[in-house]
Structure 1
Amino acid sequence: MVQIDRSNTAIVGLDLYTVAERHQSGLVDAIKEQITFWKSNFYFVSASVHQSLDGVRVFTYSQWQPKFDHRSLQRPAIFSEFFPPDSLQLEVSASQSVSAEVEIAVGDLITHLAEFRMMPVNQPEMVKRTTTELDRAMSNSPGLVSASFHRSLDGTRMFNYGQWESKEAFEAILKQPGFDPNKPYWEGLARNEFHLYHVTYVETAG
């Protein structure tokens, strides 16, 4: 089982890919192959592959024991056919769920990944605001299963990893005051964008 937990000491590795729609499935297969190499690494905890609904994005959410940087790992030769990923190290800064645990699993849930880019000096303020933001989202969003904020260790970004019962449930929140994507509620602190995904593959150590 892959869990997102603020008390977890694991470091999150996030690899963001942009790809031509016709190559998305091939990239997913290549990443699965890569994860078989990762599993033999002593520091490996888990990895999950997410495939975007629009067909042109893929991201890998992996977990590693502390003090290990997954970006140091050699990539299979097939990755030369794709643009290199935007790879970051993250830690969970806040998380809430309708259940006791936030679990990443293959299934029917929709995942949204929102990316917030900022100056490093603004990240502490962003982290401070996320608890209030999660309270507001979880109490006003029917169909929202979980939401977890992650901060990048280099200070330049934050990510909101959210799980939804359906695409329609996610789209409904965009009509609520304060969630309109054309009116950034963190204007002056960060620029943001989001995309929707399905979890297509999950692997754990052992």
Structure 2
Amino acid sequence: MPFVRPDDDYLTVFNVFETDTRSGQERVVDEMRAIVDNADYPGWLSSTVHAGLDEPGTLNCIQWKSLADLEARYAGERFTRNTAPLFDGITSSKRLLKTELEHTQHHPDLGEAIEMSPERDDYTVFVLLNVDPENQRELLDALAEPDEWIKTVPGYRSHTYYRGIDGTSVVNYAQWDSKESYDAFHALPEEQRPADVRNGRLRARSLITSRWANTYTAVHSRSADGS
């Protein structure tokens, strides 16, 4: 199964698709599953397909060895003639986010690394923060810092920040044990958070141009090594 480790130096692509209905979501998941099960692209490392929870849609987290490998896949005839038109036709919107790992942290109970797997029961929170390129580094400095306090929050499992390579976004991929625990954390009054956390959040809010989020559960995964 795919893992996320602090020393990862490959490209992570988040394919985020929205659908109008749950049946549409199921169609996208089925199509993604078929693609993942037959993936044999040079440089492809893993894919983990997620199904939307709060809102219909899907998230596919794909790990590649390099940007050049991904671009070769996107330029291929099978992708341009079949894959891209297919998903254009069955989704209401799509985001193809090319990112690099910036910071990752997890609860000690998870072991040595973060795992993305349908065999787990993670309540996955995906947050896309849009930012002007000149402010991306400052936004990451405000958010992508070690946070010992969050390890004490009930239900917390992990969170990872990714830097959009085009400079216009920051992604937070987080795992919690349930919707209830995440909602309690999300609604926690600011005065109950540590001062450094409050300051980072305040600084971040002044930098982002927009925020988009949804929650997911992993439903299918495959790695190039067969796991």
Could you tell me the TM-score, scaled by structure 1's length?
0.88
Tell me how large the CA RMSD over aligned residues is.
2.0
SS at match of 2:173: strand
Shift of 1:193: 2.9
Structure 2 CA distance for aligned equivalents of residues 94 and 66 of structure 1: 19
Equivalent residue, structure 1, for 2:42:
42
SS at match of 2:35: helix
SS at match of 2:205: coil
Shift of 1:177: 2.8
Structure whose alpha-carbon radius of gyration is higher: 2
Larger helix share, 1 or 2: 2
SS at match of 1:69: helix
Indicate if the aligned counterparts of 1:94 and 1:130 stay in contact, CA closer than 8 A: no
Equivalent residue, structure 1, for 2:105:
96
Structure 1 CA distance for aligned equivalents of residues 47 and 56 of structure 2: 20
Counterpart among 146, 170, 173 of residue 161 in structure 1: 173
Letter in 2 for 1:78: L
Structure 2 CA distance for aligned equivalents of residues 36 and 2 of structure 1: 14
What are the Cα deviations for residues 125-166 of structure 1, in whole angstroms up to 9, with x where unaligned? 11212233x506624521110000001000100111000011
What are the Cα deviations for residues 160-202 of structure 1, in whole angstroms up to 9, with x where unaligned? 10000111110110221338xxxx7322201323211100111
Structure 1 CA distance for aligned equivalents of residues 65 and 100 of structure 2: 12
The 1:81–1:151 alpha-carbon spacing in structure 2 relative to 1, beyond 3 Å, is same
Equivalent runs, 1:26-105 vs 2, <5 Å: 26-37=27-38, 39-67=39-67, 68-69=69-70, 71-73=74-76, 74=79, 75-76=82-83, 78-83=86-91, 85-98=94-107, 99=110, 100-105=112-117
Equivalent residue, structure 2, for 1:135:
147
Equivalent residue, structure 1, for 2:13:
13
Is structure 2 residue 206 aligned with structure 1 residue 188? yes
The 1:12–1:137 alpha-carbon spacing in structure 2 relative to 1, beyond 3 Å, is farther
Structure 2 CA distance for aligned equivalents of residues 205 and 15 of structure 1: 18
Letter in 2 for 1:113: F
What are the Cα deviations for residues 108-132 of structure 1, in whole angstroms up to 9, with x where unaligned? 2100001100101110111212233
Indicate if the aligned counterparts of 1:112 and 1:163 stay in contact, CA closer than 8 A: yes
Counterpart among 135, 147, 150 of residue 159 in structure 2: 147
Shift of 1:55: 4.5
Task: Note the residue ranges of structure 1 that are not aligned, 5 or more in a row.
Answer: none
What are the Cα deviations for residues 42-96 of structure 1, in whole angstroms up to 9, with x where unaligned? 2110000111113411111000012322544504363342236211210110000
Structure 2 CA distance for aligned equivalents of residues 193 and 18 of structure 1: 12
Letter in 2 for 1:81: G
The 1:55–1:128 alpha-carbon spacing in structure 2 relative to 1, beyond 3 Å, is closer
Is structure 2 residue 218 aligned with structure 1 residue 199? yes
